[in-house]
Amino acid sequence: MPDRSITVGIICGGPSPEAGVSRLSAGRISSPLEKNFQKVVTLELDEMLPTNLTFHQVDVVFPVAHGPMGEDGCLQGLLEIMGIPYVGSAVLGSACALDKVTTKRILQAAGIPMAKDCVVSRTAPLNLSVNQCLEALGEKVIIKPFAQGSGIGIQFAQGEKELSERLRSGFEKDEQLLVETFIQGREVTAGVLELETTQVLPTTEIITPDNAWYDYTHRYTPGLSEHIIPARITDDQRKRVQEIALQAHQLVRCRDISRSDFIVPEDGEPIFSEINNLPGMTPTSLFPDGARHAGIEFEELICRLVDNAMLRKEKQFNKNDYWPIPELNVSIQ
């Protein structure tokens, strides 16, 4: 039986635009954790975090701080230094997964199907960037920030005029942008869950009123999106989505949980879009729905993830067990 007489720290907030959403996740997971563990504290991702982790003698962390600083390896690196086990991907997997371009380059090398893209920079002449995108990607494109989740900063453009306007707008926020060919199809997602074994969760199709873009508002407002499980795609497409989700999880070096998003055309192969290495746990989030359809209720999911993270505490890095290094007979002058 796992040790439940421990202190669990939930970390949320931080400087990311998704700070508010992360606090929704924190509020939702706090109740099942409080029911099953001796002490649960919710902490902000700020400069006082190391002090607060030490003060509360936190044994294990469940991070739900989405976006930059919380999901990109920064928080994970702090926890590694402090020797506190945590739920979710480690430093490298977190850093690779949050950066959309890094993710794409890793998966492209493995032959995973995805949209053609161009990376454009604020420092390049705008007209050259526009022409480059139109020639390589066609008239209709989607523009994405490198390292934001929840649909933040996503823009669509068709033709030279719109693309110029959208890029100019995007460069006010980011130095570089990812531009992809727009692909028509169903929005489908599949999660991967690692506990005692690794399993791919059922496919989920996302429906929005009037086929609206699944943006920040539609993701987190109850009633503005519908999750259909399993997704209404062919058996071959469903199998392929799950295969790619597992492959992406492993290649990007995710751990414990991830969720991969796809555009699935009417005919043909699913197109990988992006991977989320720390899926949300809000009332409208996709990952918990997928887990529930796989027979894992929310309380069990949250508690087993914490138990699993605690097991890693016994396996933390010990330099005495690593490659031996010869003693150097040198003196500091």
Mean pLDDT over 254-281 rounds to 94
Q: What is the pLDDT of residue 173?
A: 83
Q: What is the pLDDT of residue 224?
A: 60
5-57 pLDDT, tens digit each? 999 999 999 888 888 889 999 999 999 999 999 999 999 999 999 999 999 99
207-238 pLDDT, tens digit each? 877 665 555 555 555 666 789 999 999 999 99
> 7-87 domain in CATH 3.40.50.20?
yes
Mean pLDDT over 141-147 rounds to 86
Mean pLDDT over 183-193 rounds to 95
Mean pLDDT over 275-303 rounds to 93
Domain ranges within the chain, ordered by starting residue: 7-87, 116-181, 184-312
Mean pLDDT over 72-92 rounds to 96
Q: Is the pLDDT of residue 321 over 80?
A: no
Mean pLDDT over 243-255 rounds to 97
CATH of domain 184-312: 3.30.470.20
- Beta carbons of 72 and 103 less than 8 angstroms apart: no
User: What is the CATH architecture of 116-181?
Assistant: 2-Layer Sandwich (3.30)
146 or 222: which carries more pLDDT confidence? 146
Amino acid type, 217 = T
What is the share, in percent, of the chain residues with pLDDT greater than 90?
A: 72
- Checking phi first, is residue 70 left (phi over 0); if not, alpha (psi -120 to 50) or beta? alpha
Residue 149: pLDDT band with limits 50, 70, 90: low
